[in-house]
C-alpha cells in the first residue's frame, strides 16, 4: 500500500498537493538486501542504502529534517516494545529522521489517540499523517522505508523464523507485563492467573536457552527483529523482575544477551533508568 518507490520528500509532496508537476528522477524501486539466512539466532544483514525521493531524486541521507519520511515515534522509556523500535531505528540508520517523543500512555495523550485508536505505544506517525502500529508493523515499515531486509527477511523460511523469534520475545514481555498487572490488581502470586503468566515467561526463557546454545558466537553482530525483541524482553525482566535471577538459570542465554547488549543499536536504544542491568556495563533502553 505504501511502496518505497512512490515515497516523496516533504517538498515534492507539497508541490504535488498543490497541483504542480513532479519530475520523477532516480525514484525507481529500492532493491531488498540479500536473502536472509535462518541458520543463526538473531543474525541480520547489513542495511542497504536509503531510497531516493521519487520526485526530486534527493537521497534520504541528508541533513536532519530533510529526506523522504521525517516521522515521530511516540514511545515510553519503560516499554520493551518501544525500545525494540528505537533499536530498529538505529540499526537501519534512521535516527536522524525520527523524532522520539516519550509520553505517559496512561493519560491517553491526544496525539497518540488521534494516530492510534488503540492508544498504545509505540506508534509511528509520518508527516503525511500515516500512522503505523504495533511494534512489529513499525519494524517492518521502517525496513521498507530504509530499503533493507536486515531486520525482517523479505520471504521464505528465513522470514518465518525471524517472525517466530520476535513473537517469542514479545510474548515473554506480554506475560511479564500481565503478571505485574495482576499483582497490582491484588491477585496473589500463587493464584492461577498469575502462575500461568509466570510459567509462560519461564518456558519462553527455557526455549531461548536452547536456541542460544545452538547459536554461533557472532550471530548477534547484526541483530534481526527477533534478536531485538528478545533482547528488549530480557532487559525488561532485568529491570522489573530482578528476583527471577534468570541469568543464573540460563547461562547460554545470558552470554548471548551480554554480546547483544554491546551491539551499537541496543546501546543507543537504552536509557539510564535501567543502567547497569545489562552485562559488561551496557545499559537498558
* CATH assignment of the domain containing 198: 1.20.1050.10
Cα–Cα distance for residue pair 10/74, rounded to 1 Å: 21
CA distance 249 to 253: 9
Better pLDDT: 234 or 65: 234
Angle, CA of 59, 285 and 83, to the nearest 5°: 60
The pLDDT value given to residue 116: 97
Instruction: Let me know how long the chain is.
Output: 285
Of all residues in the chain, the percent with pLDDT exceeding 70 is: 71
Give the sign of the dihedral formed by CA 18, CA 24, CA 27, CA 29: positive
pLDDT at 47: 41
Q: What is the CATH number of the domain that holds 72?
A: 3.40.30.10
Mapping DSSP to helix (H, G, I), strand (E, B) and coil, where does residue 215 land?
Answer: coil
What's the domain count of the chain?
2
Classify residue 16: in a domain, yes or no.
Answer: yes
The residue-averaged pLDDT of 256-278 equals 79
- pLDDT band of residue 3 (cuts 50, 70, 90) is very low
Same domain for 74 and 117? yes
Kindly state whether residues 168 and 258 are assigned to the same domain.
yes
Considering the domain boundaries, does residue 256 fall inside one? yes
- Residue 233: is the preceding peptide bond cis (ω within 30°)? no
Would you state the pLDDT for residue 61? 41
The pLDDT confidence band at residue 4, using thresholds 50, 70 and 90, is very low
The whole-number pLDDT of residue 217 equals 77
Higher pLDDT, 204 or 60: 204
In the chain, % of residues over pLDDT 90: 65
- What DSSP character marks residue 185? T
Task: Give yes or no for a cis peptide into 122 (omega within 30° of 0).
Answer: yes
Query: DSSP 3-state helix, strand, coil percentages of the chain (rounded to 5)?
Result: 50, 10, 45
Question: H or E segment at 98?
Answer: strand 98-102
pLDDT tens digits for 138-180? Answer: 999 999 999 999 999 999 999 999 999 999 999 999 999 999 9
* Model pLDDT, residue 12: 52
DSSP string, 116-157: -TT--S-EEEETTS-EE-SHHHHHHHHHHHHT--SSS-SSHH
pLDDT recorded at residue 86 = 97
Do 172 and 277 reside in the same domain of the chain?
Answer: yes
Angle between helices 225-240 and 135-146 (to 10 degrees): 140
Mean pLDDT for 71-91 is 96
Q: How many other β-carbons are positioned within 10 Å of the β-carbon of residue 73?
A: 22
pLDDT digits (tens, 9 = 90+) for 92-139: 999 999 999 999 999 999 999 999 999 999 999 988 889 999 999 999
C-alpha neighbours within 13 Å on the C-beta side of residue 11: 10
Best CA proximity match to 60, nearest among 105, 22, 30: 30
**Which domain range does residue 137 map to?**
4-30+49-146
Looking at per-residue pLDDT, the higher value among 35 and 143 belongs to 143
Query: Which of 146, 169, 192 finishes a domain?
Result: 146
Q: What is the mean pLDDT of the chain?
A: 80
For range 185-200, the mean pLDDT: 98
53 with 7: CB under 8 angstroms? yes
**Mean pLDDT, residues 196-208 taken together:** 98
Amino acid at each position: 500500500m505504501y511502496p518505497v518507490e512512490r515515497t516523496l520528500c516533504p517538498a515534492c509532496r507539497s508541490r504535488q498537493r498543490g497541483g504542480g508537476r513532479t519530475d520523477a528522477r532516480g525514484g525507481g524501486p529500492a532493491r531488498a538486501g540479500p536473502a536472509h539466512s535462518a541458520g543463526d539466532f538473531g543474525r541480520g544483514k547489513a542495511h542497504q542504502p536509503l531510497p531516493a525521493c521519487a520526485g526530486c531524486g534527493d537521497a534520504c541521507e541528508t541533513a536532519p529534517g530533510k529526506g523522504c519520511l521525517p516521522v515521530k515515534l511516540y514511545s515510553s522509556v519503560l516499554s520493551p516494545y518501544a525500545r525494540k523500535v528505537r533499536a530498529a531505528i538505529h540499526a537501519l540508520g534512521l535516527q536522524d529522521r525520527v523524532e522520539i517523543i516519550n509520553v505517559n500512555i496512561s493519560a491517553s495523550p491526544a496525539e497518540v489517540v488521534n494516530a492510534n485508536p488503540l492508544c498504545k505505544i509505540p506508534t509511528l506517525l509520518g508527516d503525511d499523517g500515516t500512522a503505523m502500529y504495533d511494534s512489529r508493523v513499525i519494524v517492518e515499515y521502517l525496513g521498507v522505508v530504509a530499503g533493507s531486509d536486515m531486520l525482517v527477511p523479505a520471504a521464505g523460511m528465513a522470514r518465518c523464523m525471524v517472525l517466530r523469534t520476535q513473537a517469542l520475545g514479545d510474548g515473554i514481555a506480554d506475560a511479564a507485563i500481565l503478571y505485574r498487572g495482576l499483582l497490582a490488581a491484588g491477585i496473589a502470586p500463587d493464584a492461577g492467573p498469575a502462575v500461568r503468566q509466570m510459567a509462560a515467561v519461564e518456558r519462553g526463557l527455557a526455549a531461548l536457552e536452547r536456541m542460544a546454545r545452538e547459536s554461533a558466537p557472532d550471530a548477534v553482530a547484526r541483530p534481526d527483529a527477533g534478536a531485538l525483541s528478545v533482547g528488549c524482553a530480557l532487559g525488561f525482566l532485568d529491570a522489573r523482575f530482578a528476583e527471577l535471577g534468570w541469568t543464573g538459570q540460563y547461562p547460554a542465554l545470558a552470554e548471548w544477551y551480554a554480546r547483544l547488549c554491546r551491539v551499537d543499536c541496543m546501546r543507543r536504544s537504552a536509557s539510564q533508568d535501567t543502567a547497569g542491568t545489562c552485562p559488561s556495563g551496557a545499559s537498558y533502553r
